[in-house]
Structure formats: structure tokens, C-alpha cells
């Protein structure tokens, strides 16, 4: 077998000889002179390209190009010999057809040669298989496929698409490597080349685009070509589906593109909504689910919601919710949820109720857990519908509140957050208090969640539930929940709802003492200065009676006058004025005291977090010891502080830590 260099050298000599012979033959033709003039111009483009390829290292791509070029030139030379006669022997019609095909092939070969030379793909010589890494081999293969997608005949490009799909069907790393080699622009150019007359090329190219869109890390590459991709994908949705899955893949790619609002606006204002709704009505089950996924993104754009309503989308979504696959039903619930977002959609909500959506949601909720159904969109839809008292009463009477409360134990943070918000909405209209109280322990436990959004939703729900006496009673009994609320006062969460809950339980003397012991009075002046609703009243409640520790360790020190601390502790570094009438000395003293006050307030926040954590740990210890088997009541009394003793010891530990902080600060 001859080496590749010999093959390319042989094809190169043949091409040069045929180019010279054909150039000499064209002046002698007597028929189709205009067509031959175009062929002569194409030869003028091919000649310098062949000379440039001759100076480059041997390459498989250039070898294939030269081989096909020599065959086409030989065919064109034989046609030119026939055209020397005004009446070609094969007949004018057949000869004209053969000449047109040969001229088109030569023109495509000239374009391919220009592309190969511009891309730099011919700079890499033939390299035998080596021990290089799999990643490098895959990158080289992907580069070769990208070039083959953009040159050659339709058959050769289909072959390149098959090679591409074998790469993309591997793991996700293969997709990322191929995408990094310019896959998306190559596919767009391929769709421009063959989308109208070659459906097989279009189907395989759309499948490759859908595979790329499945990776979030590659979607930005699709976004950069969104304007060109959108027209091709929309054409796929309009035309008949050749293999039954092209529409599904086109919708899958559109779903990834329409996550961005500007692209969603473009898709929604170009007549694509009606096409997607038709796919939901009559498409295959996978295509229905994918089309509903695109409509979900469109419904999330406020400017497109009215367009969806005008296209009569609500009955279509409800029909998919009744009979579609789990994914299709989930996406249709998302669509309805997005349509009902806001307070000004009462007409849409009424239409959804009239379509029997509650029965559909109940069926979706009762689907087997093995179907991996997501309850988040269903709960969100119920929450949106419950903004009206009439709709809330219907939802409550349909028995959805216990289901939502059970969803508070979900492993999904998004589902838990939606469930908390739904309970908060329904609690405003709930007349039967028996169902609400079962949510209290679960919501209080969520005050310890990691996510700030979940904590904030839990606080808002507790604030709305404090209108019920049974909920206030349960909250008063939950010492750990009160301590967690006080700790959240020093976070970035909205303070108004936290103060509302604390104010609701502050009627209990025991709760007030617990708040004071855990440092709430130290934060209230700050909240009052911020004009947080209810903070002033809570501060007045906590100030009533003898609820604090001894005066010199009072929590008022956390925000009070620093001079009191000086008198109690005898700090040795206090700046003193030698002359009482010296204004400069007084200014120095005032500045020093102000500086120390600021630094002390910074320490206050750190101390507050640590002391509250200590209270939580002691409560956990109390609960764990009480469950130790074989431990008698007398032994328990010796090991676990109860009532006032527990509160007093907690306070002592607080101020010990506080004293250590202050001592370290002033010693430094």
C-alpha cells in the first residue's frame, strides 16, 4: 500500500495536467459558450489553490479533495471534447445537464479548497497513531469532523454527521470537546447549505444541536448563534416530521434557547406560539413534553402572557395535564403557574378553575413516586390561585392543605420553599385552624435551614400564622425556635416578620425572660432606630418587670453608655484629661470613647451569635439527656437544669463569654 504522501503527489500531478488540458480545450468549444465561460473562471480559482496545496504537508483532507477534483476535471474535459461540435453527439439537452452538474461540482470544489486553506486545517501533516492521550485523539477527530461537515458533497457531509453523532453520543466530555472546536457554527452553516433540499441532513443536524443544548455549559454557544438557529428550528416545526423525533429535538433546543428573555421574546412574537400549541395538541408524547417546555419559558415573560391567552393556550395546557406524560404534565403545570403569576390575573384563574385544573393537580399529585414527579410547580400553581379568598376556600375544601403540609418534608429545597409560601397564603384565609397547627413544627425546624430563601419563607409563614391562638401557643412552647428567631435578627433577613413573631409570643413572661437572656434587648435599640415595625413595642414589653440578670451584667451594656462599663470594670486604658477646662483634652476623651463604643458594638454582634449558639446547644443537651433510658427523675434533675435554674445558668454562660470578649479587647 502506498503511503499518503504518494497518493497526494499522484492526485496533484493529475489535477495539474487536467487543469492545463481543460484550459486549452475550452477555447475550442462551439456550444454552450456562456456556461463554459463560467467554468473557465472557476478554473482560474482552482489553479492557485492547487499550487498552494502543493506547498503544504500531505493531509487526508487535501488528498480527498484532490482525488475528487481530478475525477471532476476528467469528466469536464470529456464534456468539452463533445462540445467542440455545435450539435453534441449525446444531444444538447443531456450535454447541457451534464455540463451544469460538472460546473456546480467544480464551483463547490473551489469553495472547499478556499475554506481548507483559510481554516488552516491543511497545516497538520499525516500523523500515524501514537500513544497520545484519548482527549487529544478525540480533539483531533472532532476537528476533522468539523471540516468535513463544511466541504464535499451531501453524501460526504451525511457521513461526517454520522461520525459526529458517534462522538456526541458518548459522555458529556465528548460534547464539550466537540463544541470547543466550533461545532455550533459548523452546524448552522450546514443547515444553511442543505435545510431546504436535504431533509436527512437537517434531521441529523438538529439532533446534534439538541445534544449540545442538553449541556448547560455549552448553551452559551447556541445563544451566540440564536438568530440563525431560530429560523431553522422553526422551519422544522412547520414542516412534516420525517422520522418522528425531529420536532422533539427542535423543541428541546428551543427550550434551551428561550431561557433568555430576549430570545424568548423573539420566538414568541414570530408566530411560533401557535405552532408549539399545535405540537401540544397533535404531536407525539415526547414532542408534546418538549413543546410544553418551550411554552413554559415563554409564559415566564410577562409581555407574552397575553399572547398565549389570545391563542387559547389554557385549554391546551389542561388537556396535556390530563393525558400527557409525567414530563409533559409537569411542564404544563409550569405554564399555568407562570400565567397566573401576579394579582391582576383573576380572569385567567377563573378560566383555569372552570377547566377542572384542581382534579388534574390531584391526579398528578397521586402519581407514583417512581415517576419522579416534581411537586414544586403544582404547589406554586395552588399558591398563585390562593391569592383570592374565593379560590382559597375552594382549595382548602378540596383537601390540599394536608398535602402541602406533607410536602414540607420534601428532600427538594424548592418544593419546601413553595410549600411554606403556600401555607402562608392559605393561612390568611383559613377558618379551620386544625390543619394549620400541624405545619408549625416543620416550619420552625426550617429556621435552621442552610438557604437564606428557605429561612425567609419560614419566617414569613410564621408571621402569618401568629393570628391563630393555637399557633401562638405552640410557638411559646418551642424555646429553640424562639432562640433561632432571635439569632436571625442579626442576619440579612427582613426584620419585620421576625419581630412580628416575637411580639406575638412576648405576652408570655417565660418567653420574655428567654428573649432577654438570649440577648434580644441588645438588638432592639438598633431595630427601633431602623424603624422596624413592632420593634418599639417589643422593646417596651421586654423592659417590663425584673426580667434581667444583675445590673452590672445587664444586656443594656450591649448598646448602652460605655462609661458604665468603665465604672464597673475599672479599665486601665481610659484616656483622662489633666485639665477639666481644656477643650482639646475633652475632645480627645470624647473621640476615644466614641471609637471604643464603635468597636464594642462590633464585638456585640460576634458575642450575640456565640451566646445564642450556646443556648441552642444546651437545649439540645436537655432534649437528648431526657431520652436516655434508665435515667430516673432525680438523676435527671442533677444533670439537666430545669426552669429558672436553666435560664439562670444560660445567662451566666452568656456573660462569662461576654466578659472574656471585653477583657481581650481592652487588653489589646
Assign 3-class secondary structure to 643-657.
Answer: HHHHHHHHHHHHHHH
CB distance 396 to 432 below 8 Å: yes
- Residue 639's CB is within 10 A of a number of other CB atoms, namely 13
Which among 199, 118, 196 is positioned nearest to 151, based on CA atoms?
118
**Res 584 pLDDT > 60:** no
Q: Which residue has the cell 411580639?
A: 503
Q: Three-state secondary structure along 251-291?
A: HHHHHHHCCCHHHHHHHHCCCHHHHHHHHHHHCCHHHHHHH
pLDDT at position 437: 80
In the chain, % of residues over pLDDT 90: 15
- Residue 42 backbone class (left: φ over 0; alpha: ψ -120 to 50; beta: rest): alpha
pLDDT at position 246: 83
**Res 330 pLDDT > 90:** yes
Q: How far is 409 from 292, CA to CA, in rounded Å?
A: 29
Q: Examine residue 661 and state whether it is found in any structural domain, yes or no.
A: yes
**Res 179 pLDDT > 60:** yes
Give the mean pLDDT of 563-588: 39
Q: Examine residue 269 and state whether it is found in any structural domain, yes or no.
A: no
**Res 1 pLDDT > 60:** no
Higher-pLDDT residue of 583, 24: 24
pLDDT at position 124: 61
Cell of 173: 466530555
pLDDT at position 606: 54
Contacts of 412 (CB under 8 A, 6+ apart): 374, 375, 376
H or E segment and range at residue 204: helix 199-213
DSSP string for residues in 600-663: HHHHHHHHHHHHHHHHHHHHHHHHHHHT-TT--HHHHHHHS--HHHHHHHHHHHHHHHHHHHHH
Q: How far is 189 from 230, CA to CA, in rounded Å?
A: 13
Q: Examine residue 108 and state whether it is found in any structural domain, yes or no.
A: yes
**Res 111 pLDDT > 50:** yes
pTM of the model: 0.70
Cell of 425: 397564603
Q: Examine residue 452 and state whether it is found in any structural domain, yes or no.
A: no
At 580 the three-state DSSP class reads coil
- Residue 595's CB is within 10 A of a number of other CB atoms, namely 10
Q: Examine residue 185 and state whether it is found in any structural domain, yes or no.
A: no
CB distance 230 to 224 below 8 Å: no
Q: How many CA atoms lie within 13 A of 172 on its CB side?
A: 6
- Residue 481's CB is within 10 A of a number of other CB atoms, namely 23
Q: What is the mean pLDDT of the chain?
A: 78
Q: How many CA atoms lie within 13 A of 331 on its CB side?
A: 26
Q: How far is 323 from 329, CA to CA, in rounded Å?
A: 8
Q: How far is 28 from 455, CA to CA, in rounded Å?
A: 88
**Domains contained in the chain, number:** 2
Name the pLDDT band for 444 (thresholds 50, 70, 90).
Answer: very high
Domain boundary among the residues 92, 118, 144 is at 118
- Domain containing residue 55: 4-84+100-118
Q: Examine residue 588 and state whether it is found in any structural domain, yes or no.
A: yes
DSSP state, 506? T
Q: How far is 87 from 94, CA to CA, in rounded Å?
A: 11
Q: Examine residue 26 and state whether it is found in any structural domain, yes or no.
A: yes
* 664: exposed, middle or buried (Cβ count in 10 Å: 0-12, 13-18, 19+): exposed
pLDDT by residue (tens digit) across 483-521? Answer: 989 888 888 888 889 999 999 998 888 888 888 888 787
Report the Cα 505 to chain-centroid distance in Å: 39
Name the pLDDT band for 621 (thresholds 50, 70, 90).
Answer: low
pLDDT at position 378: 93
Q: How far is 179 from 177, CA to CA, in rounded Å?
A: 6
Q: Examine residue 488 and state whether it is found in any structural domain, yes or no.
A: no
Name the pLDDT band for 333 (thresholds 50, 70, 90).
Answer: very high
Q: Which residue has the cell 411537586?
A: 375
Cell of 515: 428573649
Which among 231, 230, 274, 237 is positioned nearest to 256, based on CA atoms?
230
**Res 64 pLDDT > 70:** yes
DSSP string for residues in 445-496: HGGG-SSHHHHHHHHHHHHHHTTSHHHHHHHHH-HHHHHHHHHHTTSSS-HH
Amino acid at each position: 500500500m502506498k503511503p499518503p504522501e504518494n497518493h497526494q503527489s499522484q492526485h496533484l500531478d493529475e489535477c495539474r495536467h487536467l487543469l492545463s488540458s481543460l484550459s486549452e480545450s475550452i477555447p475550442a468549444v462551439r456550444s454552450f459558450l456562456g456556461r463554459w465561460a463560467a467554468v473557465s473562471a472557476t478554473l482560474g480559482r482552482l489553479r492557485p489553490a492547487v499550487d498552494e496545496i502543493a506547498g503544504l504537508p500531505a493531509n487526508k483532507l487535501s488528498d480527498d479533495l484532490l482525488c475528487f477534483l481530478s475525477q471532476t476535471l476528467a469528466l469536464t474535459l470529456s464534456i468539452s471534447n463533445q462540445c467542440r461540435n455545435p450539435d453534441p453527439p449525446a444531444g444538447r439537452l443531456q450535454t447541457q445537464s451534464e455540463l451544469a452538474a460538472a460546473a456546480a461540482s467544480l464551483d463547490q470544489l473551489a469553495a472547499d479548497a478556499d475554506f481548507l486553506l483559510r481554516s488552516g486545517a491543511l497545516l497538520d501533516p499525516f500523523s500515524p497513531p501514537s500513544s497520545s492521550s484519548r482527549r487529544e485523539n478525540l480533539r483531533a477527530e472532532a476537528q476533522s469532523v468539523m471540516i468535513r461537515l463544511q466541504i464535499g458533497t451531501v453524501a460526504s457531509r451525511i457521513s461526517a454527521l454520522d461520525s459526529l453523532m458517534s462522538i456526541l453520543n458518548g459522555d458529556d466530555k465528548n460534547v464539550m470537546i466537540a463544541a470547543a472546536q466550533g461545532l455550533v457554527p459548523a452546524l448552522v452553516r450546514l443547515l444553511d447549505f442543505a435545510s431546504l433540499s436535504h431533509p436527512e441532513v437537517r434531521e441529523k443536524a438538529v439532533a446534534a444541536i439538541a445534544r449540545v443544548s442538553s449541556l448547560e455549559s455549552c448553551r452559551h454557544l447556541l445563544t451566540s448563534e440564536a438568530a440563525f438557529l431560530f429560523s431553522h428550528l422553526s422551519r422544522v416545526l412547520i414542516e412534516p416530521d420525517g422520522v418522528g423525533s425531529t420536532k422533539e429535538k427542535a423543541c428541546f433546543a428551543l427550550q434551551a434557547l428561550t431561557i433568555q428573555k430576549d430570545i424568548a421574546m423573539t420566538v414568541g412574537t414570530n408566530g411560533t406560539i401557535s405552532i408549539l400549541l399545535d405540537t401540544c395538541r397533535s404531536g407525539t408524547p415526547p414532542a408534546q413534553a418538549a413543546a410544553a417546555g418551550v411554552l413554559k419559558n415563554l409564559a415566564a415573560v410577562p409581555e407574552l402572557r397575553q399572547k398565549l391567552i389570545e391563542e387559547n393556550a389554557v385549554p391546551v395546557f389542561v388537556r396535556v395535564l390530563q393525558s400527557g406524560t409525567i414530563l409533559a404534565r409537569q411542564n404544563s403545570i409550569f405554564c399555568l403557574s407562570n400565567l397566573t403569576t401576579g394579582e391582576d390575573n383573576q380572569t385567567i384563574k377563573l378560566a383555569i378553575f372552570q377547566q377542572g385544573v384542581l382534579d388534574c393537580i390531584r391526579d398528578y399529585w397521586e402519581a407514583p413516586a417512581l415517576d419522579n414527579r416534581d411537586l414544586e410547580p403544582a404547589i406554586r400553581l395552588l399558591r398563585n390561585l390562593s391569592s383570592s379568598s374565593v379560590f382559597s376556600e375552594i382549595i382548602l375544601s378540596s383537601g390540599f392543605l394536608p398535602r402541602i403540609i406533607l410536602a414540607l418534608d420534601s428532600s427538594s429545597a424548592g418544593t419546601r420553599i413553595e410549600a411554606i409560601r403556600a401555607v402562608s397564603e392559605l393561612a390568611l384565609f383559613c377558618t379551620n385552624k386544625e390543619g394549620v397547627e400541624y405545619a408549625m413544627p416543620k416550619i420552625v425546624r426550617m429556621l435552621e435551614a442552610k438557604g437564606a430563601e428557605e429561612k425567609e419563607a419560614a419566617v414569613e409563614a410564621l408571621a402569618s400564622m401568629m393570628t391563630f391562638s393555637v399557633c401562638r401557643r405552640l410557638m411559646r412552647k418551642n424555646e429553640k425556635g424562639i432562640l433561632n428567631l432571635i439569632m436571625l435578627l442579626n442576619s440579612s433577613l427582613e426584620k419585620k416578620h421576625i419581630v412580628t413573631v416575637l411580639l406575638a409570643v412576648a405576652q408570655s413572661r417565660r418567653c420574655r425572660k428567654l428573649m432577654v437572656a438570649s440577648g434580644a434587648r441588645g438588638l432592639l435599640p438598633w431595630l427601633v432606630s431602623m424603624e422596624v415595625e413592632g420593634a418599639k413595642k417589643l422593646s417596651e414589653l421586654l423592659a417590663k418587670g425584673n426580667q434581667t440578670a444583675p445590673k452590672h451584667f445587664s444586656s443594656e451594656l450591649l448598646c448602652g453608655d460605655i462609661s458604665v462599663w468603665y465604672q464597673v470594670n475599672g479599665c486601665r486604658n481610659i484616656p483622662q484629661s489633666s485639665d477639666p477646662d481644656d477643650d482639646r483634652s475633652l475632645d480627645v476623651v470624647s473621640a476615644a470613647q466614641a471609637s471604643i463604643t464603635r468597636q464594642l458594638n462590633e464585638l456585640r454582634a460576634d458575642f450575640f451569635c456565640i451566646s445564642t449558639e450556646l443556648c441552642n446547644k444546651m437545649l439540645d443537651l436537655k432534649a437528648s439527656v431526657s431520652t436516655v433510658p434508665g435515667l430516673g427523675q432525680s438523676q435527671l434533675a442533677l444533670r439537666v437544669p430545669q426552669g429558672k435554674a436553666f435560664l439562670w445558668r444560660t445567662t451566666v454562660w452568656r456573660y462569662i463569654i461576654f466578659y472574656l470578649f471585653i477583657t481581650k479587647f481592652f487588653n489589646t
